[in-house]
Amino acid sequence: MDGTLIMANFPALTPSSMEFTAPEFPVKANTALSGVVSRRIFGNRSSRAVLNMNFDNLADDVAVEFLNAWKDARGQLDTLTVPSIVFDGADAALIAFIADGGDDLAWHFAEPPQLQRVKPGISSVSTVLEATRDF
């Protein structure tokens, strides 16, 4: 398999809960011996937004969609297409901001999806996505 990036599809489900961390700017802070803090920015665009999501009480055949997306994305390597249903219930301006990671960023898995068995045939999934600048 070559190193060509592909796009994998994230499951089209609305999470039970979601936590978004806005992207960071490349800023370094230095503190002088006098206590004065100086900051320097090393670029004009942000990167590395984080999206933590929990999907509660899914049928196992739905929960496996997260494992298939992880496999299709080759883990953390390839870009994810995150469908708009993931952001259902949020205001349009917030959806527009989060959908591209806050600054025209590309979503990737930050870590493998985690499944928790609730009862036979029912599982909950937690997953963390990271939006980065890939170009």
Q: Is residue 35 part of a domain?
A: no
Domain assignment of residue 33, yes or no: no
Is 105 part of a structural domain of the chain? yes
Is 28 within the bounds of a domain? no
Single pTM value for the model:
0.83
Range of the domain at 64: 7-21+48-132
Q: How far is CA 126 from CA 33, 74, 77, 91, 135, in A?
A: 44, 18, 19, 23, 28
pLDDT tens for 11-33 read: 999 999 999 998 888 889 999 99
In a domain, 32, yes or no: no
pLDDT tens, position by position, 62-110? 999 999 999 999 999 999 999 989 988 888 888 888 887 777 889 999 9
Domain count, the chain: 1
Instruction: Evaluate whether residue 90 is within a structural domain.
Output: yes
